[in-house]
Every structure is written in C-alpha cells, then in structure tokens.
Amino acid sequence: MTQRNTFALLLAASLSTACSLAPGVHMKDSEVTDRAHEQQGNDEFQIQVVSPFLIQRFAKEYKAEVAARQPDPNAALLKDYQYKVAPHDILSVIVWDHPELTSPTGQYRSPEENGQLVYADGTMFYPFVGYLHVAGKTVIEIQRELTGRLKHAIKDPQVSVRVAKFLGRRVEMAGEVRSPQTLYLDNIPLRISDALVKCGGFVKDSNPAEVTLIRGGKATLLNLMSYYEEGDLKSNWLLLDGDAVHVGSMSLSQVFVFGEVKSMGTRPMFRGRLSLAAALGDSSGFDYTTMRPAVYVLRQEPNGKPEIFRLDVAEADSLILAAQFPLKPRDVVFVATNDLARMNRVISQILPLVNTIWQTWSMIYTTKTQIGF
C-alpha cells in the first residue's frame, strides 16, 4: 500500500467518526430514554410521537380542563343583585314636603354635599332619628327604617333613599391594562369583563389567558380568553368588595427555540397561545444545511415529570400536525439534525485544512518522483 493510499484511508476513518464529535447539541431518542430510565428511575418514560391520535388526546384534555374549571361561587347574586351600603358611602335622603330635612345646607347644593355620610362604624346621623346603623343594608331597607322612625315627628312621612356617591366598596385593577385604577362598586353588578372595559381594555403585551383574581388572600387563575372566544362564563366572575384583579403579561408566557433553525431565541405566545408551526415559522424555518431534521418539544409538567414529543418533518402531514400542536409556556423546541447533516458540517469545517495538507503532500510526492526517490 502506497503512502498516498494510507493517507486516504486515515482521512476516511477520521471523517467516519467526525459526526459524533461534531460541535453542538445532539439528541437521539434512545439516549434520552436511557437517561430517563437510569438517572430518574422512570421505566415508563417514552418519547411521544406527534400524530393525529396525540392531537385528539390534547383536544380531549382541553375539554376536560374547561369542564373542571371552578365556576363563579357568587354567580347566583347576579339574578337579584342589590347594592349594600358600606362605610364612606354618601346617602341622599329625601323627605317630601320637608325641604329643611332634604336640603339642610341649601337647595342649590349637589346631592353629595347635601347627603348623609356613612361613618366608619357603619352609622349615619339623621334629624329626629339620631344615629342609624345602615352598613350592610340595601337602600330599600334603610328607607323603610327611616320611615318608621320619623313617624313620631312627621305625620305620614314620605321618604326616598338612594346612594349619592359610591365610595364604600372597591376593587383594584392592575397589570397589563390601559388604565390601572381603583373601581368603586355601585348598584350595577360588576364582572371582570366590565371592569376591564372601564380600565380601557387590554394592552399589546397583556395575556387574557392569565388573569389572577385575589380574594381574601387567595389567588385564583382565570382564563378570560375562553370567555371572549368561547363564551365560557366560568371565567367571568362577579367582583366583590376588596377584590384585586391582575392581568398577566405575555413576557411570562414564552417558548424557547434552539437547534437547527435560522433564528434561535425566545418566542412570545400571542394571547397565551402558540402552535409548533408558528414557533418554527417565527424562527425563519430550518437551517438550509439540515437534511430531514427531527423536531422535539421538551416540556416540564407541574407535577415535575418531563414530557418529550417528536415530530418527524419528513412525513407529508407533519406541517398540518405542527399547526395543530399547542405549545405551553416555557416549552423548549429543539430542532435536531441527522448524522449526514452533521457529517457535511464537519467536512465543510475541515475541508480547507484537508486541501492544504493534500496539496502539500502532492508537492512532496511530485518532488520525490522527479528526483528519483
């Protein structure tokens, strides 16, 4: 065997193992499952292939999730809703034919200025009656009580009561809304969707799928997207005094795309939703040097168990499946290449060096031949 043949054989042997030494992250199904079995002790772990059956399973799981959502515990109050007076409200009390009681400071003053303030202890003062506890009562109940207690001073009193200014019951609106503010509850029931309208609606970066309602120190996550798109009333709760609503940001709902794509990075989820096809499209597609790549989705479930899904893009229906595959926040999309593509990459990286060595060897060989060695 000549020295040239020996060099060629050594070069071929080195290239045959180069794909395993190629730079970058490599991923094989067998290696992943072996690590899960050995390191995590999970003998049942398997990479799940993205198929029509998997998409159907996701659809069933979503329907089950919607059915299991907690309904509004105060939805029954909407039917016969009545505002109950609270401390710091201002009441307007009219006693017909008795302007001295109705407008004691003058008829040209506003109802709030002529109104009766509800003190912090829940009482208000009224002439010929004294202090009357009104907090927690409706205006009708207060009207009846005032009428009964004025009878000793006025013959057949005609009394009308209403809230001149609502200041007693309030909710806080914060997060990704156009105008975060404090809203005061009044005699019209206020649901979350109503409160959002009063705050100017959502902003560009808001995530209606993650609206947090804080009530009594307990946080409840509500999905307002299901209300707006599907009419799911379970998520549109009636607001009560002391509630705080926080609209989440899309910055907390992201997926990460790595591997053999033209543009790696973080992809925001629009309104809390993003399909696998959209994530790949936002990454400018696959790298042009990649041949028949495999797409993996790595997911960490709330119970701590990882899930890995694989999409074989060589199949004809792969793009349809990718468009129907729903990603979740903090999913990692990894596009892996095959051994042939890694080999091509290694060859392209070392080819200039190989050409230099080959040319040097040829010059030495030619020189030796010419001088008779």
pLDDT tier for residue 175 given thresholds of 50, 70 and 90 = very high
Q: How many angstroms separate the most distant Cα atoms in the chain?
A: 141
Report the share of the chain in percent with pLDDT over 90.
Answer: 30
Please choose, from the candidates 28, 58, 328, 255, the residue with its C-alpha nearest in 3D space to the C-alpha of residue 36. Answer: 28
Please write the tens of the pLDDT for every residue from 191-207. 999 999 999 999 988 88
Q: Tell me the pLDDT tens digit for each residue of 135-167.
A: 999 999 999 999 998 888 888 888 889 999 999
Domains defined for the chain, CATH in brackets: 18-46+253-341 (3.10.560.10), 70-79+169-250 (3.10.560.10), 90-165 (3.30.1950.10)
- Provide the 10 A C-beta neighbour count for residue 123: 14
**Per-residue confidence at 366, pLDDT binned at 50, 70, 90?**
low
- What is the Cα 150 distance to its own chain's centre? 57
Please give the residue that has the higher pLDDT: either 313 or 43: 313
Question: Which region among 83-92, 146-155, 253-262 has the lowest average model confidence (pLDDT)?
Answer: 253-262
307 — pLDDT class (breaks 50, 70, 90):
confident
Residue type, 347: I
Mean of the pLDDT values across residues 297-323?
Answer: 80
Q: How far apart are CA 114 and CA 108, in angstroms?
A: 9
Alpha helices (H) along 199-338:
224-230, 276-282, 318-324
Digit-coded pLDDT (tens) for 315-333: 667 888 888 999 988 888 8
For the chain, give the mean pLDDT: 78
Contact 163, 188 (CB under 8 A): no
Six-digit token pair at 204? 């560009």
